[in-house]
Structure 1
């Protein structure tokens, strides 16, 4: 199936996977509406062939409605990609930060989907949810992020079953380790939260936080096995153009990790996941 100037909305297109996806789809012949929050990000994307920036804040219903009003009556694809990462121990994560995590990564995706689903239905198109290996595996300190991605997996599964007779394809993209700025920003947020935690938090979780933060920074820089965002963008392109798309498109490391957890069972997998951070200090 060719792009054929079909229109696709990509949220979270300022950086990372969303930015790479907007560029890749635009170069492939799609009419891409790239969702951004800042004028500077819009200016960068305006130079890309086939890409039109659209200002949208997925946590603001008025912003979503205004963005939806700029779209054509038939929208072939929606790529729900906007996201943030909040990482902290469950015991100490600030509830406002937890709410922000869920508002952006989960509630915001549903809000955008609700706003444009009629247009997708008119085009007999596709809705893609960019989840994560973290939507199937919850790592230590990643409870807020994993909760949002587990929730998004559930939304996608339910919606796929709800719309199966409406000509709409609902597809999950499951990246594993990907080199994007979300991890740098997440590390900065974690630093700020850590400064507000009581002394005993450092005694209980300090070394764990340091180690996982180091790994997150490595991932953002393309180290520790992280793939470039263009790798995920190509999977999104395949999901939009395949005659019979798959339900899920996992990255290679996501497929391995999810399969390993299923094979080993929870207790053995807990030991494997926790050991690198508990064996220090």
Structure 2
């Protein structure tokens, strides 16, 4: 296997496996022979996964914001694997809330953090005993947005920044047990999250006060389309899944894995620029028509 290693356990839990990165990870791991428990929100997503995977892959209904749902998922996995433990948990479930921070409903911001931050911690806490048993790994799906804040998706960036910090803290805290913790940082990816975000942003914007439309009405449509276009033309979810599996199987996993040209450009160039210059470049990109 060279610089690769097969975990002592071969069971992996993937959250947010209904679509995008989570689904790609679940299916690729299934093909590699891992036993996958794929967290989904709806029964119809379970059926769809079963149609594309082997009989070994097990979809489980998992709402990472619901304590009872998490407990049920842990019980299902524990019953299935006994004392062998987990090889890894891949924390991928997430949403993207978009809109001007000045007018975004606080409940929407709270929901963003509840799903993309608190939910990730809750799932990790719940599965850590099994990870210790299996000498497993924790792989968090982050984003370039967790290294460089982006306007009009401020809550999403805030959540991803939080996951960067929590990944670092958890990595140091779990070092005595040799539980590796890595974060995968893609740029824009071709997943439904950006189209969903565009729809949510449209709904939110339509319900904003009149002064919001007056103040941001000329810029928001272009920003929404730029983000949507970036998502449609971004890195395929399958490529992110391949890198995630590399983090799972590497003998010496990195702490961070940057995925995609946009993410590499962002971390190598934009992150090093003076704040105001970076701000200007990002705003120029956002307000420029995708066709230009």
- TM-score range (shorter-chain normalised) is over 0.9
CA contact (8 A) 1:207 1:277 kept: no
Residue in 1 aligned with 2:67? 61
Which whole-Å deviations, capped at 9, do the CAs of 1:19-65 have from their partners, x for residues lacking one? 01100111111101000010000011123024210111000000000
- The answer to whether residue 191 in structure 2 is matched with residue 180 in structure 1 is yes
- SS class of match (1:8): strand
Number of residue pairs the alignment of both structures matches: 277
In 2: Cα distance, 1:59 partner to 1:107 partner = 8
Instruction: Give the gaps of 5 or more residues in structure 2.
Output: none
CA contact (8 A) 1:77 1:128 kept: yes
In 1: Cα distance, 2:22 partner to 2:244 partner = 10
CA contact (8 A) 2:7 2:87 kept: no
Query: Within 5 A, what are the aligned runs for 1:63-142?
Result: 63-71=69-77, 72=81, 73=83, 74-142=85-153
In 2: Cα distance, 1:172 partner to 1:205 partner = 34
- The answer to whether residue 206 in structure 2 is matched with residue 200 in structure 1 is no
Give RMSD over aligned pairs.
1.5
CA contact (8 A) 1:180 1:219 kept: no
TM-score by length of 1: 0.94
TM-superposed deviation, 1:265 = 1.8
TM-superposed deviation, 1:3 = 6.4
Instruction: Give the gaps of 5 or more residues in structure 1.
Output: none
Residue in 1 aligned with 2:169? 158
- SS class of match (1:207): coil
CA contact (8 A) 2:8 2:135 kept: no
Residue in 1 aligned with 2:15? 11
- SS class of match (2:38): strand
- The answer to whether residue 275 in structure 2 is matched with residue 266 in structure 1 is yes
Q: 2:33 aligns with which of 16, 29, 37?
A: 29
In 1: Cα distance, 2:34 partner to 2:247 partner = 13
CA 277–76 in structure 1, closer or farther in 2 if over 3 Å, else same: closer
